[in-house]
Structure 1
Amino acid sequence: MSETSDLIALRAAIPVIRIFDEAKALEFYVDYLGFTVDWSHRFEADLPIYLQVSRAGCLLHLSGHHGDATPGSTSFVPVADAAALHRELAAKAYPHLRPGLDEMPWGLQITVTDPFGNRLRFCEQRSAEASDADAG
């Protein structure tokens, strides 16, 4: 590696997710998924909101600003225990969604869709060794 590349520390990307209604976004991301609002910003009182939510090291930016993100996008979120998250979500009284727990070739996965058509795929990924054994 070059001397310059050793100094550049890349970190996990933070998805920007387009939202259209602040109350619905908070109901979904905070009340249902269990994220916490870290901060929010508006340039003026009647302009769209931009906020950061987090849960256990996962950061998401939610934006009401046109052009910040494409509605209907998908974010892949690694999770340590997909079954525990699935049980937690199933126990909540969120009337708009009942996600399944799907066994995929790459791991155990829960896909949720927010009120704006954006998908989050929470996945407990298989180790490379387990994936290699399945392929053989």
Structure 2
Amino acid sequence: MATVKPILRIFDYDKALEFYLNWLGFRIDWEHRPAGSPAYLQVTRADITLHLSEHHGDASPGARVFIDDFEHLASFHKQLLAQPYKYNRPSLETPFYDPTALEMTVVDPFSNRLIFVERG
């Protein structure tokens, strides 16, 4: 089976780390940051892997990533709200397409949206 790794456009390395690592709990697997060049890195949280790129041609800001079958979403939501991250206060919602599911959307500093879904 193939593995999908979305590339998300970022504009500020430090803001990306604050959001993805410090707030959401991802970790850096590897990064490519030659002197004077834009950053390109891979971050992972459990089985979610994303590529973050400052390179102009790699992606457009405002992407949406649907993360399905995320376990313990209510606990993760509570953990996020307990942190002093003032730029994002997501809510938990029941999506229109599945009344047994929970959904939470977070928006990164570059207008990319991560939609976490737990199926009931």
What is the aligned partner in structure 2 of residue 60 from structure 1?
A: 50
Displacement after TM superposition at 1:100 (Å): 0.2
**Root mean square deviation, CA, Å:** 1.0
* Runs of 4+ residues over 3 Å off in structure 1: none
Unaligned runs of 5+ in 1: 1-8, 127-136
Q: Distance in 2 between matches of 1:63 and 1:97?
A: 21
- In the alignment, the residues of structure 2 paired with residue 117 and residue 51 of structure 1 have an alpha-carbon distance, to the nearest angstrom, of 18
Question: For residue 69 of structure 1, what is the aligned residue in structure 2?
Answer: 59
Partner residue of 1:10? 2
Larger Rg: 1
Number of residue pairs matched by the alignment: 116
Kindly indicate whether residue 17 of structure 2 is the aligned counterpart of residue 23 of structure 1. Answer: no
Q: Give the CA deviation at 1:115.
A: 0.3
Question: In the alignment, which of 34, 41, 44 is matched to residue 32 of structure 2?
Answer: 41
Per-residue deviation at 1:125? Answer: 2.5
Aligned to 1:88: 79
TM-score w.r.t. length of structure 1:
0.82
TM-score computed with the length of structure 2 as normaliser: 0.92
Q: Equivalent pairs: percent with the same residue?
A: 49
The code of the aligned residue for 1:51 comes to L
Per residue, is there more helix in 1 or in 2?
1
- 1:109 to partner: Cα distance: 0.6
